[in-house]
Amino acid sequence: MAAIIWQTPANGPEAKDFVFLNDGGIHSAGKRYVRPYYFEFISHVKNRWAGKAIVDLFTEEFRGRSYEYYESAVKCGRIQVDDKIVPVSYVVRSTQKISHFVHRHEPPVLAGNVSILHIESDVITVCKPASIPVHPCGQYRKNTIIGILQAEHDFAPLFPIHRLDRLVSGLLIFARSADKAEQFRQQIDAGLLNKEYIARVIGIFPEEEQVVDANVNYDAREGRSSVEVVEQMDIALEGKAACTRFLRISTNGTHSVVLCKPVTGRTHQIRVHLQHCGHPIANDDLYLSKTVTPRSARGTGANRTASIHKHQPLLSDSTISENHNPDADHVDFSIDPMCTNCPSLSPKGYGGDEEGLWLHCLRYSGPNWSYECPSPDWAVLS
């Protein structure tokens, strides 16, 4: 095997890093994959890690791999401390540098184009397809809006002015300098921004404007928000104040398209406020009911259509396949003997088909400026 070239966050994505395949799934356009690559994860020993043996530390803090894997990785130098190979019994000290060299596989995203809407000297706006995260997070680094814009258009650095959940589509605004980003931040802090989204929801939404003013409490462990309703004045609320205005645009008797104007910006605010109204987003399996199967028992595919949600049980983690795509056999990448994901293109545990939420960022405006994004096809009711 050729000499390994280890990448770090300093190595930007390139167009050749991406592979487009049609999996034969529900999305005819296929998916955007990232060729697996060698990557150096760098971290520094936190105070609570100090005094732990290196293998125990990784097993306890990074549970995606087994004790046996971490033991082998330390022995062969795939895990190093201060750039040195150490024994498996090595006890780490605070602030030491730890490197974990891995063969990195990123989950695929839907293969929609990231359309450039406006290019100005200090601002770029794009239309974000659903399923692509905005910036590096979790298992995603190159398969992100920022990564794709850098690889395909050489736009870097970019400073996101706001963020959209991975499964949400629509307008994204990027500043092209830290100074411009700071100007936007000051306007956000002053409450000078107006935000407009559209959603396709279950049922006939009321014709008159609906205002939901209810605290939102986000449970990071479950990845889900809930609305807190004041029932007793002497009970303190744990959630954050949240307000959203809703106005029906159209309805066909089964679904409605609703204009959503969040006054605040809490996690999943629009989604949980629409659920609170009795009109959840029509393909949002996370909020189609008041209760939901705990994350530990849910599959990793985030959304299914409402009919699938109602008539099919959710998959448990134990029933999720490794999602080996036969087309991956024809994609040229090195199979790494230490890799726990090879030979698949996508990492193990990826849940397969998913669709974007019927929630779309339509427009942002502020003092003397306004940017907008075309509406998606699902916003037209037949």
Active-site positions read 165
For 218-223, which contacts have Cβ atoms below 8 Å and span 24 or more sequence positions?
Answer: 218/266, 218/267, 218/268, 221/295, 222/292, 222/294, 222/295, 223/286, 223/295
Q: State the Cα–Cα distance between residues 357 and 281, nearest whole angstrom.
A: 8
Beta-carbon count within 10 A of 147 CB: 24
- Phi and psi at residue 195, to the nearest 5°: -120, 135
| Cα radius of gyration (the chain) | 23
CA-closest candidate to residue 380, choices 271, 262, 255: 255
DSSP string, 103-149: EE-PPPEE----EEEEE-SSEEEEEEPTT--SS-BTTBSSSSHHHHH
Distances (CA, A) of 323 to 21, 320, 344: 14, 8, 7
Residue 103: strand pairing partners: 38
CA dist 39 and 164 (Å) reads 27
**Phi/psi at 122 (5° precision):** -125, 5
203: left (phi over 0), alpha (psi -120 to 50) or beta: left
Amino acid at residue number 99: S
Sheet of 97-104: strands edge to edge? 37-44, 97-104, 79-81
User: What residues have CB less than 8 Å from 114, skipping those under 6 apart?
Assistant: 126, 127, 128, 129, 132, 145, 148, 149, 152
Rounded distance between C-alpha atoms, residue 18 and residue 35, angstroms? 6
